[in-house]
Structure 1
Amino acid sequence: MSDHAALSRAELPRPDIAIEDAQRLARDLYGIEGDIRELGSQQDRNFLIECGRGRFVLKICRAEYDRAELEAQNAAMVRLAGRIGSLQVPTVGKTHAGAEIETTIVNGQSCHVRLLGYLEGEPLTRRRFLPEATVAALGAACARVARGLEDFRHPGLDRHLQWDLRHADKVAAHLLPGIASAETRGRIAKALELASKAVAPHLDGLRIQPIHHDITDDNVVARLDAEGVPIPVGIIDFGDLMNGWLVADLAVTCAALLHHSGGDPFFILPAVKAFHAVHPLTVSELKALWPLIVQRAAVLVASSELQLSLEPDHAYVLGNIDHERVIFEVASATPIAVMQAAILAAAGMEAEAAVVTADHRLFPEIDPARIAIARLDTLSPALKNGNWRTEGQARAILRDAVAETGMAATRYGERRLTETAGLSPDIPATTALFVELALPQSSIIAAPFAGALEATAKGLRLVGGDLALWLEGVTSGHAAGSRLEAGVEIGRVGETGLVTVQLCRDPAIDPLHFVKPHQFEAWSTLCPSPATILGFDCNAPASESEALLASRQAHFAKPQKNYYRRPPQIERGFREEMYDVDGRTYLDMVNNVTILGHGHPRLAEAVGRQWSLLNTNSRFHYAGVAEFSKRLADLAPEGLDTVFLVNSGSEANDLALRLAWAHSGARNMLCLLEAYHGWTVASDAVSTSIADNPQALTTRPSWVHAITSPNTFRGPFRGPDSAAGYIAAAEKALAAIDAKEEGLAGFICESVYGNSGGIPLPKGYLKEVYRMVRERGGVTIADEVQVGYGRLGHYFWGFDEQGVTPDIITIAKGMGNGHPLGAVITSRAIADSLEKEGYFFSSAGGSPVSCVVGQTVLDIMRDERLQDNARDIGDHLRSRLEALGQRFAIVGAVHGMGLYLGLEFVRDRQTLEPATIETARICDRLLDLGVIMQPTGDYLNVLKIKPPLCLSRAGADYFADMLARVLEEGY
């Protein structure tokens, strides 16, 4: 078929086929009857038929389509079956007469009819978000099909299609007049011009073979793997099968991915890497890939606009055109040279080195050794108390750095914290492609190489060959267009004393000042460092995050886990935000340790002052230990007036158990299932959470008696009035202990079921269990390490919600705002019981620094009304989370109060099957969107929502909004 015929065929409307016509064809030709509905297609008619024999797709196209092409498609599917690993392709059906293709007249139209098997699975196009593993799997699937077709031969493969990227310019020239908007026509034409120019040098190196040419998110079906990731399992729609450029097959796949990319063209790189691993591409093919993607995007948009002009109500085109416009926007927005470098790197190849030569220094009168460096990275000492969020802070720090030598400069390639974006789902562009200098006014600026001087909206540009030098903040007497030799004065430093210097290897591009950190290496090939023309090392050091993680894994004991498989390197925090070394902001929704928030200046100042005075152990006499102990005792209920200071919650609970043993003279302890109390030998013994210790239920010592968890959501007795059943379970366990006549030491539990996500205990539960324990001479221990100290908002202590007073309170975590500090508060009588075993001592517990930390935390909590904030923001957040339960079936329940909340995910609200895999993926996706969140509970299906108590309403809303986005878009 000629190019003209192919283009004319593109203008044909779909055949006029009604559901009734399709039913008749299926019955008469194939003996199939069943439920039938139409599937989307741009130029064919496709119908899904469900019957007792299975599910089938009836495909009907106009007879203008060459029959040999359809025969080639059928033959390719038969050939690929079993040759592409676990991937499936449709089976090819036959008519009663044994034909794979039937040409017949329908409603006066000559049509080709085929029947194919239906592949079960979910089209990826329905998922707005695609995980990296899915993107890679799609690239690998495309490569496997290409390899499977590599030696396939058929006369129907020599086709002339509008989608054939070998003819993209001709196709676009034919289609563009159909676009109503002159602006859109111009943009498409410009993108095609640049893409064609970029492809041209590589044409001779582009291999031709049979290709599917339409392996897109529409034309694969996927199923969830063991980790809940959608992975392609089948390839459908061989309608564009042809002999074409091998790399065009991948270009089509990558273009389709761009509408899932969130605007980031680098999103396609896992697909490129995976394709190359299965079916290696040459350097020419890799360099041609991105411009071919641009061409594909342009043809897609132009074709859809034309089709809508023919059929304005074309549902299939209307359903896809928004995606296609996004694809074109992303494809045309990034310089081709940048993407070529990124693609080569993804394939394990290096782009052409960015070599910058200079005959003269840019600032000939300046001694480069005297230029101070103004650091703007996450660890910069000049950044403090959140000042990086102030507009103009970068230049203020640059000017301050001038004080020592009279000159200063920022760094090229530095990931600036001053460019971060708070409460944003997008990775911010923090990495500098330029250097800004603060220099004496009127310092001479000389041409480092010969070139033409041009005026731009930014300032001046010196263009020499394929290298452009961009300058801002320069005064010059030269006329625009002046030709300057190397060493000739360009101008002088302007009155502000600030000069911006940037290089770009493509004079046609107006380069960005900042790019996203993961894009920097590719951009640096286009915008290299100006170090050569400046005469000093202005480059920021490369990231060492991966090396540091490897060192951690090599030397840090393996049981000490870190969050996330690929964790960001967090090096700073302020209030409820944390910051990584790339300058990314994360909303911290899990750090119940930092109750005040991160980096509180008042706490830092108090600790610094005390360190400068004294730090020793509590056996010395100093004011802090007396003052802090009294203050803690004053916070406790009447009668609990004696305090032990320790280093952690584990130590506090360990000590509480020792106190119970010493005071009661017995050993047996009652505890709850699903609980966690610490890592010491004793606190671990009463911890029964299988999420923390999979062996927990089979390795408890004989003195531990774990009773039924009063889990009011998924326990045997449910609802707020379920106390009786759980009290009976406790009574039964106590009776068993009584029968052994060994005595009872006590009972330990969290006042709110913290480790399971903040589930409240049933009303009256603690009151009755405490009574039964005390009747037997036992001691009641309230573990308030996670749930107490104002976090619940409505109560300072968790046990207040139950209306009881324990014999021992244990606290830690928030009371030190991250400093190792814990405490046990009890009565004098119980405390004195420990002297039978000797004295107690904790080296850092109650040290002068620890006491200052503890008192300052309480001062700030009081002065900033953080408990009130926990109540108000917590109530608001809880209402937002409950609203999600009305929209998404996966939301099983919202637990807790204040800023100790748990959002439990289930696969079925009736069976309460835990959504464990889904919860892990939701947490990973939230990290992508700038939220730190982790699962908890025995089934790891509950979000543990325990942010700093300073959480703002905006932060709470952002968390709820991002969670809604994840549940809507997928994970």
Structure 2
Amino acid sequence: MLLATLIHRTSLPCPQVGPDQAAHLLERHYGLGGTLQSLGSQQDLNYSVDTHHGRFVLKICLGDYAAVELHAQHAALRALQTQDGLRVPRVIKALTGEDLLTVTVDGQTLHLRLLDYIDGQPLTHLPHVGREVIAGFGDLCGRMSQALADFAHPGLERTLQWDPRHAQELISHLLATLPDLPHRAALEQVAERVGARIRPLADHLPWQAVHMDITDDNVVWQRDALRHWQIQGVIDFGDLVHTWRIADLSVTCAALLHHAQGDPFAILPAIQACHAVTPLQREELQALWPLIVARAAVLVLSSEQQQRLDPDNDYLLKNAEHEWEIFQVATSVPFELMEAAILLCVGQTLPPIASEGFAPLLPGLVGREFALIDLGVLSPHFEAGNWEQPGIDRRLLDEAAAVHGLAASRYGQYRLSRTCPDSATEPQTFPLHVELHLPHGTAVEAPFAGVLRVGADGLLCVQDGPLSLRLWGVSTSLSAGAAVVEGQILGEVHAPLTVQWCRADVEPPLFCTPSRASAWQALCPSPSALLGLACDAEPELDPQALLARRDASFARSQKHYYVDPPRIERGWRNHLIDMQGRSYLDMLNNVAVLGHGHPRMAAVAARQWSLLNTNSRFHYAAIAEFSERLLALAPDGMDRVFLVNSGTEANDLAIRLAWAYSGGRDMLSVLEAYHGWSVAADAVSTSIADNPKALSSRPDWVHPVTAPNTYRGEFRGQDSAPDYVRSVEHNLAKIAASQRQLAGFICEPVYGNAGGISLPRGYLQQVYALVRAQGGVCIADEVQVGYGRMGHFFWGFEEQGVVPDIITMAKGMGNGQPLGAVITRREIAEALEAEGYFFSSSGGSPVSCRIGMAVLDVMEEEKLWENAQVVGAHFKARLEALIDRHPLVGAVHGSGFYLGLELVRDRHTLEPATEETTLLCDRLRELGIFMQPTGDYLNILKIKPPMVTSRRSVDFFVDMLSKVLDEQL
């Protein structure tokens, strides 16, 4: 009887009711007229209805469905109307006062209902669904379970094809009726495995009324002001049934696999969120993954059958592809692995393996000392990128064994050698094994009794039920299938010995990704007990605990990138590496001009520190040599250098020089600019992104002029200089009228804070002339945009064809060493002497000077200025190509390795896409790229990577940027 009912239910076609017929039914029974639009459904027919009285959904199903089932849905909707935070549709009564009508159309007996419409959109076809949304689905599942926990109705006691209690029987039936189905063997295997895992748990699973369809089709969402998705309501209660409580979450998780991008672990936030609201029993957690896999199988089989019954159903055709995707993701990992991951994500664990009484694996080496080799991210064995050399780990172990006799790797130590630069996917850096380098001929014995398996890749495995010891590098005379007893000699070591222990009947990898490490570690624990060797990696500091320590002691105004930042402890060239061995493309670190970890920097710093580091009042050669090198880069006529620690200090000193030389204090600065954090440098900074109160807190000696922004400023285009110069003339006139002496004008020659926008043609020529005519000096802030970064010009002011009176610089000068400089003319420099001498404790120290000269040497030797020109030009061209493809991309600014990508919602109004830019940066981080927004509206990607950045890295960045823009930010 059960099977017959299931067969009948799965064989029902969709009602055949056209839009005109539906409109007639609506008018006749509800007195409503309006515009109807078909909505997708598998076996029901749904129309959205727009009327003068509001928006509704007309639901039509075949009369084969018992009326009591539909009344149960209506009763549940009424019950849920009283629940806070759970919005569900209201049932609209017909003209007769009934909420369910039975009618006949073209010989079809149909049930007719009208519900109100909940505005929003399902996320079925959204290319990317983030962690917060996935958790939102799980939270909704938990709240729905709570809300329906005490709900009862006779219509819930029904046989439903989607009820997981019947999954195995339904799968077997559908397989029999679909002989030509693809992936048939996989589906048959699923049915068997699901049954085997669910049967021992079934009697322990709690029952209640469950929604059974909280999916990306049936939950509608809207974006809030910050562009975050928020749930608006649940719209379909057609699968409401009384069954296992955990069935609800299994349906939701199966639907989410469509958005997992191949990674089933992506659903774990939904499980955590559901469990936080409605704590799940251990048996439910153990049943969850088998039920998810069963749901995936039922989805594809039902869809295949329904397409044959209803080949013109577009909804079925559109969903079929992602239902197969769900099945493929669900069957891509072992059941045991996902069970472990689910238990661990809610704080439960697997019982330990009872290893007491096992014989030693290497009895001849008991008590011998091994050299445990550090192969982790911070290993002193790794420098200058040598971890990229093939076979480096094994070579280090070989070298250690040659010295100490015995050497071993550490179990669970994230391997730096397995990092993958310019990759959007996590690298497999976590070792689930130990590698030992021993004398050849060392005897290996069975620690426990079992059956011997031999693999084609040199694997030797002792299997005892689900428990297995997996070995590589052992030669044996035993035959596959032989029974071995505890302590029996298995063979001899003939190569590096790899040891892996596994508690489940699976084929584990030797390495796994960090996100899967805890689950795989539960299945493949450390073999240290078998080896008699304390070879486990030292526990890593909890990143969140470390962040809490920072927040508890480090002043809060000193922000960090990202809400949940990865812990970065190593860098190499244009990549930064976290403690789990993942490499992030660094697209924002213009300080490390030569890249991270440059061996020349390490050598020069170490050498000079070993000799001397003191302050510039002592006499040593480096300060004279470095000053001469800097002057050689400056325009003719500049002949004096000040050395300081930072760009802020350089700009502060430049302002003091302007005051001293001019005799005045009034400064002109440009709106939206940033020059530093000291009192004077902050005073001339007007970027509200850096200081929200910047425009209202300027001292009276600072006179901001209109920002000459050729893209979104008051005047547009490269010929707008005269219009912007009027603001300068106006401010100069005010200063003159007040009989105050102008001190100077400070400006970035390229609009750095706005992403490298070029100033209007001729702007600085006109402004410099006006400023100098009034006795002021002209300061070029080259801290960000100078020193070769722009590619075509070494100094930003060269693009404008001017020579300033004072140049300030820092950032890339020291490749991360605190180092800045001010270059000017003698008469300006000496004007400061009237106010006393200038001194910077660390500015111009021997270490800083030597590093500064080494930076210039490497830039020349490695042709980094040329790299900025060539690769930078390719970079800009690729970014500009995004304009035609993505409406959100408004413009590309800058040149070389100082670029800005400005995101706008409308290319005519230039409404800034601030929230989208924030989401984009967060998403890029997930894909292995560090990027941050800039500009007063925080809608510009300020792209300023190390000047060693390669074409490969550029292409990776632009490809990922395009991918994220395609994900409908």
Q: TM-score range by the shorter chain?
A: over 0.9
1:762 matched to 2:752: no
Percent pairwise identity: 54
The alpha-carbon deviation at position 313 of structure 1 amounts to 4.3
1:194 matched to 2:217: no
State the distance in 2 between where 1:934 and 1:357 align. Answer: 53
User: Which residue is 1:206 aligned to?
Assistant: 205
User: Which residue is 2:109 aligned to?
Assistant: 110
Given that 1:131 and 1:229 are in contact with CA atoms closer than 8 Å, whether structure 2 keeps it comes out as no
State the distance in 2 between where 1:896 and 1:951 align. Answer: 16
State the distance in 2 between where 1:781 and 1:307 align. Answer: 74
Write out per-residue CA displacement over residues 7-58 of structure 1, whole angstroms, 9 at most, x where no aligned residue: 2221222122222222222222222222222111111111122222222211
* Equivalent position amino acid for 1:740 in 2: S
1:510 matched to 2:510: no
TM-score by length of 1: 0.97
Deviating more after overlay: 331-340 vs 751-760 = 331-340
Write out per-residue CA displacement over residues 39-93 of structure 1, whole angstroms, 9 at most, x where no aligned residue: 111111111222222222111111112221112112211221131x233111212
User: Which residue is 1:372 aligned to?
Assistant: 371
User: Which residue is 2:531 aligned to?
Assistant: 534
Write out per-residue CA displacement over residues 670-713 of structure 1, whole angstroms, 9 at most, x where no aligned residue: 11111111111211111111111112122222211112111222
User: Which residue is 1:9 aligned to?
Assistant: 9
User: Which residue is 2:81 aligned to?
Assistant: 81
State the distance in 2 between where 1:252 and 1:354 align. Answer: 33
The alpha-carbon deviation at position 950 of structure 1 amounts to 1.4
The alpha-carbon deviation at position 404 of structure 1 amounts to 2.7
User: Which residue is 2:223 aligned to?
Assistant: 224
User: Which residue is 1:398 aligned to?
Assistant: 397
State the distance in 2 between where 1:660 and 1:369 align. Answer: 72
User: Which residue is 1:296 aligned to?
Assistant: 295
State the distance in 2 between where 1:178 and 1:570 align. Answer: 56
Write out per-residue CA displacement over residues 635-688 of structure 1, whole angstroms, 9 at most, x where no aligned residue: 111111211111110111111111111111111111111111111121111111
After TM superposition, the runs of 4+ consecutive aligned structure 1 residues lying more than 4 A away are: 178-183
The alpha-carbon deviation at position 428 of structure 1 amounts to 1.6
Q: 1:341 to 1:879 in 2, by over 3 A?
A: same
Aligned residue runs from structure 1 range 576-655, under 5 A = 576-655=574-653
User: Which residue is 2:148 aligned to?
Assistant: 149
* Equivalent position amino acid for 2:833 in 1: E
Given that 2:644 and 2:843 are in contact with CA atoms closer than 8 Å, whether structure 1 keeps it comes out as yes
Given that 2:613 and 2:847 are in contact with CA atoms closer than 8 Å, whether structure 1 keeps it comes out as yes
Given that 2:168 and 2:194 are in contact with CA atoms closer than 8 Å, whether structure 1 keeps it comes out as no
User: Which residue is 1:522 aligned to?
Assistant: 519
Q: 1:361 to 1:141 in 2, by over 3 A?
A: same
User: Which residue is 1:240 aligned to?
Assistant: 239
Q: Name the SS for the 2:657 alignment partner.
A: helix
The alpha-carbon deviation at position 605 of structure 1 amounts to 2.3
Write out per-residue CA displacement over residues 801-844 of structure 1, whole angstroms, 9 at most, x where no aligned residue: 11111000000001111111111010011111111112222222
Alignment equivalent of 1:741, drawn from 739, 742, 746: 739
Q: Name the SS for the 1:277 alignment partner.
A: helix
User: Which residue is 1:477 aligned to?
Assistant: 477
Q: Name the SS for the 1:370 alignment partner.
A: coil
Count of residue pairs brought into register by the alignment: 967
User: Which residue is 1:436 aligned to?
Assistant: 435
* Equivalent position amino acid for 2:411 in 1: Y
Aligned residue runs from structure 1 range 906-945, under 5 A = 906-945=904-943
The alpha-carbon deviation at position 368 of structure 1 amounts to 5.1
Given that 1:3 and 1:160 are in contact with CA atoms closer than 8 Å, whether structure 2 keeps it comes out as no
State the distance in 2 between where 1:355 and 1:514 align. Answer: 24
Aligned residue runs from structure 1 range 615-764, under 5 A = 615-764=613-762
TM-score by length of 2: 0.98
Alignment equivalent of 1:786, drawn from 784, 787, 795: 784
State the distance in 1 between where 2:628 and 2:68 align. Answer: 92
The alpha-carbon deviation at position 178 of structure 1 amounts to 4.2
Alignment equivalent of 2:563, drawn from 554, 562, 565: 565
State the distance in 2 between where 1:599 and 1:903 align. Answer: 28
Given that 1:368 and 1:534 are in contact with CA atoms closer than 8 Å, whether structure 2 keeps it comes out as no
* Equivalent position amino acid for 1:524 in 2: Q
State the distance in 1 between where 2:121 and 2:285 align. Answer: 30
Given that 2:422 and 2:953 are in contact with CA atoms closer than 8 Å, whether structure 1 keeps it comes out as yes
User: Which residue is 2:451 aligned to?
Assistant: 452
Q: 1:178 to 1:838 in 2, by over 3 A?
A: farther
* Equivalent position amino acid for 1:50 in 2: D
State the distance in 2 between where 1:183 and 1:435 align. Answer: 40
State the distance in 2 between where 1:180 and 1:879 align. Answer: 53
Q: 1:318 to 1:358 in 2, by over 3 A?
A: farther
The alpha-carbon deviation at position 436 of structure 1 amounts to 1.0
User: Which residue is 1:158 aligned to?
Assistant: 157
The alpha-carbon deviation at position 226 of structure 1 amounts to 4.5
State the distance in 1 between where 2:578 and 2:679 align. Answer: 35
Write out per-residue CA displacement over residues 893-919 of structure 1, whole angstroms, 9 at most, x where no aligned residue: 221111111111222333322222221
Deviating more after overlay: 431-440 vs 120-129 = 120-129
User: Which residue is 2:52 aligned to?
Assistant: 52
The alpha-carbon deviation at position 390 of structure 1 amounts to 2.7
User: Which residue is 1:327 aligned to?
Assistant: 326
Given that 2:172 and 2:191 are in contact with CA atoms closer than 8 Å, whether structure 1 keeps it comes out as no
* Equivalent position amino acid for 1:599 in 2: G
Aligned residue runs from structure 1 range 337-348, under 5 A = 337-348=336-347
Alignment equivalent of 1:798, drawn from 792, 796, 799: 796
Q: Name the SS for the 2:200 alignment partner.
A: helix
Given that 1:369 and 1:536 are in contact with CA atoms closer than 8 Å, whether structure 2 keeps it comes out as no
User: Which residue is 1:825 aligned to?
Assistant: 823
Alignment equivalent of 2:856, drawn from 858, 866, 872: 858
Given that 2:14 and 2:310 are in contact with CA atoms closer than 8 Å, whether structure 1 keeps it comes out as no
State the distance in 1 between where 2:178 and 2:380 align. Answer: 55
State the distance in 1 between where 2:353 and 2:127 align. Answer: 37
User: Which residue is 1:256 aligned to?
Assistant: 255
The alpha-carbon deviation at position 215 of structure 1 amounts to 0.4
State the distance in 1 between where 2:852 and 2:77 align. Answer: 71
State the distance in 2 between where 1:308 and 1:401 align. Answer: 64
Q: 1:533 to 1:2 in 2, by over 3 A?
A: closer
Q: Name the SS for the 2:439 alignment partner.
A: coil
* Equivalent position amino acid for 2:64 in 1: E
User: Which residue is 2:844 aligned to?
Assistant: 846
Deviating more after overlay: 902-911 vs 118-127 = 902-911
1:884 matched to 2:882: yes
State the distance in 2 between where 1:746 and 1:776 align. Answer: 9
Write out per-residue CA displacement over residues 124-173 of structure 1, whole angstroms, 9 at most, x where no aligned residue: 21222112111111111122222222222211111111110011100101
Q: Name the SS for the 2:919 alignment partner.
A: helix
User: Which residue is 2:63 aligned to?
Assistant: 63
Q: Name the SS for the 1:745 alignment partner.
A: strand
* Equivalent position amino acid for 1:281 in 2: L
Q: 1:753 to 1:178 in 2, by over 3 A?
A: farther
The alpha-carbon deviation at position 358 of structure 1 amounts to 4.5
State the distance in 2 between where 1:454 and 1:499 align. Answer: 17
State the distance in 1 between where 2:367 and 2:544 align. Answer: 32
* Equivalent position amino acid for 1:926 in 2: L
Given that 1:179 and 1:185 are in contact with CA atoms closer than 8 Å, whether structure 2 keeps it comes out as no
What value does the CA root-mean-square deviation take over the aligned residues? 1.6
Q: Name the SS for the 1:359 alignment partner.
A: coil
Write out per-residue CA displacement over residues 298-332 of structure 1, whole angstroms, 9 at most, x where no aligned residue: 11122122223333443212211221122122222
Write out per-residue CA displacement over residues 496-520 of structure 1, whole angstroms, 9 at most, x where no aligned residue: 3x011001111x3111211221221
State the distance in 2 between where 1:797 and 1:333 align. Answer: 54
Given that 1:452 and 1:463 are in contact with CA atoms closer than 8 Å, whether structure 2 keeps it comes out as yes
The alpha-carbon deviation at position 438 of structure 1 amounts to 0.9
Given that 1:411 and 1:539 are in contact with CA atoms closer than 8 Å, whether structure 2 keeps it comes out as yes
Q: Name the SS for the 2:365 alignment partner.
A: coil
1:957 matched to 2:955: yes
Write out per-residue CA displacement over residues 405-445 of structure 1, whole angstroms, 9 at most, x where no aligned residue: 11111111111111222211111221111111111101011
Given that 1:192 and 1:294 are in contact with CA atoms closer than 8 Å, whether structure 2 keeps it comes out as no
Q: 1:879 to 1:180 in 2, by over 3 A?
A: farther
Given that 1:43 and 1:61 are in contact with CA atoms closer than 8 Å, whether structure 2 keeps it comes out as yes
User: Which residue is 2:871 aligned to?
Assistant: 873
Given that 2:6 and 2:170 are in contact with CA atoms closer than 8 Å, whether structure 1 keeps it comes out as no
* Equivalent position amino acid for 2:513 in 1: K
